[in-house]
Amino acid sequence: MNRVAFLALALSGICWGLGFPLGKFVLTETNAAHMVLLRFAVAAIAALPFALARAETRALFRSPVILAAGALYGLAFMVQFEGLAHVSVTLAALLVGAMPALIAISAKLLGEKVSRASWIGVAAATLGAALIAGKPDGAGSPLGVALSLGSLLIFLAWLIVLRRAPASPTPMAIPAVTVIIAAFTVLPIALFMHGPPKLALSPPVWAAIVGQGVLATLLATAAWQFGSARVGAASAGVFINIEPLMGACIGVMLFGDHLTFALGAGGLLIIAGSFIVVLGEKREAPVCASAGPI
């Protein structure tokens, strides 16, 4: 079962990694708040069949834990992308790369056993993400840094809250309900900040929004929650570092960025760290479930 869980976690990291390059297209025609709103609106529409299919799933809309998790998830994306408007992609990638370490530390503080292999894998993958990010000198304003760091703490709170989630009647139930609640959380915030979103966008931008909603939001969330509920939190967290690795690779292949030593070495460290976690994960199922980023 762990093999399937790790494949799901890798898929979630890849899908989340698509969010930034797709967002680059969207931000050429709209602002960050409206981009997040449209992204979650698409994800919510795609999630409706899974959320409304069964009475047990519809009952999740009355769960305080799921309501809190959905609100935190939407708020985290709003804060993250508002922060990204004030910092460089380099600094943003560096901050995302710190998330697995935060997850591992929080798991230890909450009483979950973290194996030595997991700590080594987390350290290697986090170092790899830092190498890919490069030097963040002068890469953002204090407000942007504060918002970006704040979003990581909100994402971490989302993970902790989801540890108390009720049993999911189907694999897609909790992810679908979470995404819909997040969409309703984002809606009033975006309307208050910028008014109604501009809908007269170009077809390529709409295609990017659909990709963000279906792949980088709904599918990524579902894959993460499936995988992270079957392995330890620290082991799952290392796969978040696939996101900056994906962003860097897409930059090289599609946006003409140069393949530097830091990118190559960082990518190898992320891959090596992930393999260390996978090979070192104990066969017995963990006592605590976790869920998880970006």
Count other Cβ atoms within 10 Å, centred on residue 254.
Answer: 10
* pLDDT computed for residue 283 by the predictor: 42
Distant-in-sequence, close-in-space partners of 201: CB < 8 Å, separation ≥ 6: 26, 29, 30, 209
Q: What's the pLDDT score for residue 286?
A: 43
Asked if 282 and 115 count as a contact pair (C-beta separation under 8 A), the reply is: yes
Average pLDDT for 88-98: 62
Reply yes or no on whether the pLDDT at 38 is more than 90: yes
108-117 pLDDT per residue, tens? 767 777 677 7
Residue (of 244, 237, 278) closest to 107 by Cα position: 237
The per-residue pLDDT of the chain, averaged, comes to 80
3-state secondary structure 244-269: HHHHHHHHHHHCCCCCCHHHHHHHHH
Structure token pair of residue 33:
């708040």
Query: What pLDDT, in 10s, does the model give residues 118-159?
Result: 778 778 877 776 776 565 545 556 777 678 778 888 988 998
Which is more confident, 24 or 1? 24
